[in-house]
Structure 1
Amino acid sequence: MHERILTDGTVVLSPPRAADVDAITEACRDPEIARWTTVPDPYTRADAVHFVGTVVPDKWAKGFPDWAVRTEPDGRVCGMVGFVPREGDDLEIGYWIASTARGRGLATAAVRLACGFAFAADGMGVRRIGWRAFVGNHASAAVARRVGFRFEGITPAGLLQRGVPRDVWVAGLSADDPPGPADGWPLRPERRLR
């Protein structure tokens, strides 16, 4: 797959480059990103160099894009969004937003843009996208719900996080689903429960 740059006027999605390594390193050292993702913890600059120089190009070559989330006008990386293969023909979307950029709708805009590309005939042409998040990740669930993902349940020990099985929330979005927000979530993910 050829690399593509996407924009909707709010965010710009472009493949991360060597110049982004320090911003990615800084963002991935946030305890909240480590808590809710599978990035290495502690996260080192070498991890970011490997991600940008090896992981991302390999994924693009296999048809699974990863983009840096940027805002205009500075173009600095404020997050990542991308796809991984899942069982069957499904894709799974993953994303994170740096602590300095949260609460501005950037994750929602980036996920909408990436999903639109995945569904488009001149993009990836997929029919369905999956989403999983560790149970309790209300911020990720709020984004998925706003984009239109339909809640499908909980998978016990559904993902490993640094060797430890964790329960996950599961949702899906089909190309013909109406735009979000989606009903049917067991709780309003926008409301944090403690």
Structure 2
Amino acid sequence: MERDVLHTPRLELSAPRDRDAASIHAACQDAELQRLTTVPSPYLPGDAEKFIALSDRWWDEGSEATWAIRLDDRLVGMIGLARLGGGAPEIGYWMAREARGQGVVGEAAEAVVDWAFAAERPAIARIEWRAVVGNVASARTARRLGFRYEGLLRQAASNSFGRADLWVAGLLRDDERSPQPWPLPLG
């Protein structure tokens, strides 16, 4: 699959490159990021190198599209769509601590949703979002993008910290992409 580069007014989204390994490793030292995502804990330099190699393979296979989020030529996060080959792909993202609270992940996620639902990808009819219960920042982003809250998946997440419940939401190709009410206390 072509490694598409996406642009927004502030961001470039492009496939992670070997030279990104140090930035990925540094961002993934954040304990909150490790707790709320599937990145390993501890996150070692070799983990970043393996992730970049996996990302290349996923692009080649067409199974996952993964982009580094770049703000002013700095890698500030990652975003991707997993399981592109069948069913509903799942959007996932993380932000480096210093880039949080600036609307960067929402801007990147909007570009990725637009990419997924573009006319040249008619097979993608739905995108799923999942997050560890309590990941309010991720939930706020999904809600702003128009994702509809669909429920709780008990003990569906597994990472270095064990099992956790997940919130799940979905967005259909034809859904209105405006903030949706969710039955969660997201503030």
Structure 2 length normalisation: TM-score?
0.94
Q: Which moved more, 1:162-171 or 1:131-140?
A: 162-171
Q: Secondary structure at the match of 2:138?
A: helix
The answer as to 2:62 corresponding to 1:71 is no
Contact 1:117 1:124 (C-alpha < 8 Å) held by counterparts: no
Q: Distance in 2 between matches of 1:6 and 1:87?
A: 20
Residue 61 of structure 1: aligned partner: 60
Q: Please point out which of 88, 91, 94 is paired with 1:90.
A: 88
Residue 23 of structure 1: aligned partner: 23
Q: Please point out which of 164, 184, 187 is paired with 2:184.
A: 187
Residues 68 and 62 (structure 1), Cα distance of their counterparts in 2 relative to 1, 3 Å cut = same
Q: CA RMSD in A?
A: 1.7
Contact 1:118 1:125 (C-alpha < 8 Å) held by counterparts: no
Q: Distance in 2 between matches of 1:48 and 1:123?
A: 30
5+ unaligned residues in a row in structure 2: which ranges?
Answer: none
Q: Secondary structure at the match of 1:65?
A: strand
Alignment of 1:125-140 (within 5 A): 125-140=123-138
Q: Distance in 2 between matches of 1:86 and 1:103?
A: 29
Q: Distance in 2 between matches of 1:130 and 1:80?
A: 17
Aligned residues: 186
Q: Secondary structure at the match of 2:108?
A: helix
Q: Secondary structure at the match of 1:22?
A: helix
Contact 1:5 1:14 (C-alpha < 8 Å) held by counterparts: yes
Contact 1:80 1:96 (C-alpha < 8 Å) held by counterparts: yes
Residues 68 and 47 (structure 1), Cα distance of their counterparts in 2 relative to 1, 3 Å cut = same
Letter in structure 2 aligned against 1:102: R
Q: Distance in 2 between matches of 1:36 and 1:124?
A: 31
Structure 1 length normalisation: TM-score?
0.91
Residues 163 and 29 (structure 1), Cα distance of their counterparts in 2 relative to 1, 3 Å cut = closer
